[in-house]
Structure 1
Amino acid sequence: MDSASPEARRYVAGLDPEQAEAVLAPRGPLCILAGAGTGKTRTITHRIAYLVGSGEFAPTQMLAVTFTTRAAGEMRARLRQLGIQGVQARTFHSAALRQLSYFWPRHFDRSLPELAPSKFRLIGQAASRERISTDTAMVRDLAGEVEWARSSLISASAYPKAVVAHARDTPLAAEKIAGVIERYDELKTKAGVIDFEDIIMSMAYLIESVPEVAREVRGQYRGFVVDEYQDVNPLQQRLLDAWLGERDDLCVVGDANQTIYTFTGARPDYLLDFTDRYAGATVVQLERDYRSSPQVVGLANKVIAGASGRLAKRRLRLVGQREDGPQPTLRTYDDEPAEAAAVASACADLIAKGTAPSEIAVLFRINAQSEAYESALSEAGVPYVLRGAEKFFEREEVREAIVFIRAAARSEREPDRPLHEQVRGVLEQSGWSPEPPAGGGTARERWESVNALVGLAEEMPTATMSEFVTELEHRMSSAHAPTVQGVTLASLHAAKGLEWDAVFLVGLHDGMVPISRARTPEQIEEERRLLYVGITRARLHLQLSWACSRSPGGRGTRKQSRFLDIFGTSQASMSAPSVRRKAKVVRCRGCGRSLLPAQEAAGRCELCAKEGRETFERLREWRLQTARDAQLPPYMIFDDETLSAIAVRRPTSKMGMLAVKGVGEAKLGKYGSEVLDVLGAESST
């Protein structure tokens, strides 16, 4: 770089040596392998600015494509800051639609067909003609299969074999879905509309088959930049090949470690095989991580170091550039409500110490896990925003289930039957099954959401259906997310491309991460990369956690994610504060003694069970008097579930009470001292 011209030096000022190498690389094929937090957007915008500023290309001859309008907008903004105007930065769909809208009328002598705003209506019609359920979940899953097949350039007739080859989890038999794909194409043609895949396919076809279109497109665009190249699918690659023709002025940027969308058709092979396809291509690796502390970077490296398979050959090893921060921690909890309550308390503590709520995120594997954290954060008085999913109580399947539960509560036909059995019976009559659906996707997420209501009923063994409905209504009102900025709740997939000062990765047990439907080695490795993406979202604070059981008092049969075994082998360096609990040992929730098989269902030994009942009754007496004095319904003080948990845990401090589900900071301030007095009085007797 010492011999670089003054013009070149202007575009590499402030860049590290590897970033500068990528910016100043000669024209031709360039592959930038950029790890998380290594400044890839800065690098490629400076690369474009250098090519334009040095006269290699006019601004209008450059086309940069990425996968989100947010990323494209950020690229344009950075180019403007560098004094570069006129470069096209768009998503694949946006770039193709712009070109197709120009060329289609000229070639076909008519306007471009209308773009269908959604596939849902036509796929619903196609499913109906194939005698398949047309409920929202099924149509959504079928839409996903249609998009995967078309993005992968797989015809309806080839779909069944492709499903086997890719070990794909489908909501129906592959032959049935193939029929839907065929019907969908027929209905789309009949309606005279096109979809998003048609836009890319049609533009690629025009360039491939009409020489004058090819000449004009290739004459207009001469230099190409593709961001997130590991996520390109075969359809997008076909359009890129059509744009390029025989030329090789192509810069791609990607990270094999962040390949997490193969289920949508993404193919990392194009990134991995770039140097095979373009002999003599320049390859630059960006491994200096400017986002995360060395401690977070170290954990990310340890997780991804266990990767195997073809993608591991392009594995980058990040090097943290920030000052030291706290060590990531791994925490184990008895049950999911305890995990959610502890995370909410930790969020409140960070906010009290000066961290903005918008700089905190709670990330989980599937959207159905959000309910516990919506409730816990609301109880703790912590504002939150839900990203990429509906709020739990606003989901269609949850609203429908609650309608059936309300109707059953009005009749109260079987008052002596355990609550969870009544709820199960009601939901089974509404179409829910105790067993999860065989496939994944939306159907499984809907099932998980409804199953969460069953789990809640199991946590209230002594409640009636009417009391259960009251509890649901209380949760619906209190768990409503405020409109102000708050802690982000998001799935790991929705968190891609984002970052926060503090990140909580929750629910990290085997069966969730990796998820149970990941069966092949390739699918399990993608789950590892998904965890890696979650870890690299954190700048400073990172806490990982899992729960031994789903509900309080449940058998602790879960095991921590296999990807976190590094904590077991390097406990000191990772500062994991809790010892991994063996799944076969069930301990008393009161005193910690090992339980006999006959005691495991209750979750406590005989002595603690007796003492817990006595403590529970004292707490109920206190609650009743407090409710009368305040002229409030008793459940507004604490519900039975919370009192039961307090009686079992017997916290000795206010901090200990915060770990109990249902005890937020607001209620702790109002009633904490009184509850501790009751516990103290009980203990003294």
Structure 2
Amino acid sequence: MDVLEGLDPEQRAVAEAVRGPVCVLAGAGTGKTRAITHRIAYAVHSGVIEPHSVLAVTFTTRAAGELKQRLRVLGAPGVQARTFHAAALRQLSYFWPRVIGGDPPQVIESKLPLLIEASRDLRRNADRGELRDVAAEIEWAKVTQIGPEDYPTAAAKARRTPPIAPEEVARLYEGYEDLRRRRNLIDFETILELTAAVITEHREVAAQIRQQYRYFVVDEFQDVNPLQKLLLDTWLGGRDDLCVVGDPNQTIYSFTGATPQYLTGFAVEHPSASVIRLVRDYRSTPQVVTLANRVMARSPHRLELLAQRPDGPEPVLTEYDDEEAEALGVALTVKKLMADGVPAREIAVLFRINAQSGAYEQAFGEAGVPYLLRGAERFFDRPEVRQAVVLLRGAARSAGGAE
């Protein structure tokens, strides 16, 4: 199998750069997953690495599964592709009985139950929505390695806008951490912290992990946060066989502490790094790519994309007064397109977060436009929404009876 066949010149350059450090700056739709999977497969087929010595880090379980599937097709099964948390938890669970003793701590999926309890202990009457925002502040603090006592100062310096007074967030943060430790529980941030600590403090653990993993690939490197970077550096242990892939203009988790600076400063941290730019956009029409280039024209890290697809219609920008008007306008536009003969399967509506789906679902229902929702539960099927509807109906019945 010729794993380099069919790659464009830039993708081929990535694939042939089999030893690190390598930094791949990949614009949207430029085939970055194709490039890095062929790079790993080419290194395996060339005898540079063994599949089991590769750790490919992705940001979602789905992306990890896709990467492993592509590598199997390319004749390179056995590569470990995991998220930061999945890889760390696997290592922590394996080494815990040996170096700490006893059963590993239990992982909690949500901070909310402990925060509710901490709030009660502090005699506060915070609602669940407020505590969810506090949980987000605690996550930001933990990934940036800020303790409860330093949170107020750090939050002010970072221009955070917590839902309650910073001092109150700090008290809840401290109460949450106290409850978590006393009950031998760990959250997602603690998984990364403890794994890095175990590797740092136990030489035999570090030696075994570094013997196992010699070749690292990290996707979406623009969204790495300080805690993830700390763990990555601990895994590497001073080695530099590392390939990072990302686009600084696609950072979407800065509110959680992620920073594109690790990507933009990679060549400074690794002066011998090869920096390769993927700029051929296979996803969008020239009209869309041209607009994207104009939007990003002032970005200091701009990648000038080159469209590879045939021409299409010019993008149209329409402004609305509010979210409801926008959703209705989109629904009516889709209705007209369908009436003009455009198949429904060729029409897609993209929105930023799942919470926005409710307005669109309602608008499409009112417009009589059938739709299929992907990647999220229907708004009115979500447990919290169903519960709210039941409560509202009960309140309405009570109000009616009072009359």
Q: TM tier, shorter chain?
A: over 0.9
| TM-aligned CA distance change 1:40 to 1:390, over 3 Å | same
CA displacement at 1:30 relative to structure 2:
0.3
Q: Which amino acid aligns with 2:372?
A: Y
User: Corresponding residue for 1:381?
Assistant: 369
Q: Contact 1:290–1:320 at 8 Å: present in 2 too?
A: yes
User: Corresponding residue for 2:38?
Assistant: 46
CA displacement at 1:136 relative to structure 2:
1.9
SS in 2 for 1:331: coil
CA displacement at 1:24 relative to structure 2:
0.6
- The correspondence for 1:132, drawn from 120, 124, 140, is 124
1:141-198 CA deviation, whole Å, 9 max, x = no partner?
1211121111111111111111011111101111111111111111111112222212
Q: Which amino acid aligns with 1:323?
A: P
Q: Contact 1:377–1:384 at 8 Å: present in 2 too?
A: no
Distance across 1 between alignment mates of 2:85 and 2:353: 28
CA displacement at 1:73 relative to structure 2:
0.6
SS in 1 for 2:373: strand
| TM-aligned CA distance change 1:340 to 1:121, over 3 Å | closer
User: Corresponding residue for 2:351?
Assistant: 363
Is residue 2:163 matched to residue 1:175?
Answer: no
Distance across 2 between alignment mates of 1:218 and 1:365: 38
- The correspondence for 2:335, drawn from 348, 355, 364, is 348
Is residue 2:306 matched to residue 1:319?
Answer: yes
- The correspondence for 1:185, drawn from 173, 177, 185, is 177
Q: Which has the higher contact order (CA 8 A, sep 6+)?
A: 2
Stretches of 4+ moved more than 3 A in 1? 332-342, 348-359, 369-372, 386-390, 392-398, 400-412
1:598-633 CA deviation, whole Å, 9 max, x = no partner?
xxxxxxxxxxxxxxxxxxxxxxxxxxxxxxxxxxxx
| TM-aligned CA distance change 1:21 to 1:129, over 3 Å | same
| TM-aligned CA distance change 1:365 to 1:26, over 3 Å | closer
Taking only the aligned residue pairs, the percentage that are identical comes to 50
CA displacement at 1:409 relative to structure 2:
4.7
Q: Which amino acid aligns with 2:23?
A: C
TM-score (norm 2): 0.92
CA displacement at 1:50 relative to structure 2:
1.0
Is residue 2:147 matched to residue 1:155?
Answer: yes
Distance across 2 between alignment mates of 1:337 and 1:115: 39
| TM-aligned CA distance change 1:371 to 1:116, over 3 Å | closer
CA displacement at 1:280 relative to structure 2:
1.6
CA displacement at 1:342 relative to structure 2:
3.3
CA displacement at 1:319 relative to structure 2:
1.4
Distance across 2 between alignment mates of 1:239 and 1:266: 14
TM-score (norm 1): 0.55
User: Corresponding residue for 1:16?
Assistant: 8
Distance across 2 between alignment mates of 1:38 and 1:27: 22
CA displacement at 1:131 relative to structure 2:
2.7
Matches within 5 A, 1:141-290: 141-290=133-282
Answer with 139-148 or 390-399: which moved more. Answer: 390-399
Matches within 5 A, 1:411-422: 411=402
- The correspondence for 2:74, drawn from 72, 82, 90, is 82
Q: Contact 2:334–2:347 at 8 Å: present in 1 too?
A: no
Distance across 2 between alignment mates of 1:172 and 1:386: 35
Q: Which amino acid aligns with 1:330?
A: L
Q: Which amino acid aligns with 2:305?
A: L
Q: Contact 1:351–1:357 at 8 Å: present in 2 too?
A: no
Matches within 5 A, 1:287-306: 287-306=279-298
Q: Contact 2:18–2:40 at 8 Å: present in 1 too?
A: no
| TM-aligned CA distance change 1:193 to 1:305, over 3 Å | same
Matches within 5 A, 1:19-30: 19-30=11-22
Larger radius of gyration: 1
SS in 2 for 1:63: strand
1:28-56 CA deviation, whole Å, 9 max, x = no partner?
21000001100011111001111111111
Answer with 15-24 or 347-356: which moved more. Answer: 347-356
Q: Contact 1:392–1:398 at 8 Å: present in 2 too?
A: no
| TM-aligned CA distance change 1:357 to 1:398, over 3 Å | farther
CA RMSD in angstroms comes to: 2.2
Distance across 1 between alignment mates of 2:361 and 2:400: 25
| TM-aligned CA distance change 1:102 to 1:366, over 3 Å | closer
Distance across 2 between alignment mates of 1:235 and 1:244: 14
Identify unmatched segments of 5+ residues in structure 1.
1-6, 307-311, 413-685
User: Corresponding residue for 1:650?
Assistant: none
Distance across 2 between alignment mates of 1:75 and 1:345: 39
User: Corresponding residue for 1:557?
Assistant: none
SS in 2 for 1:251: strand
Q: Contact 2:18–2:48 at 8 Å: present in 1 too?
A: no
Distance across 1 between alignment mates of 2:325 and 2:195: 53
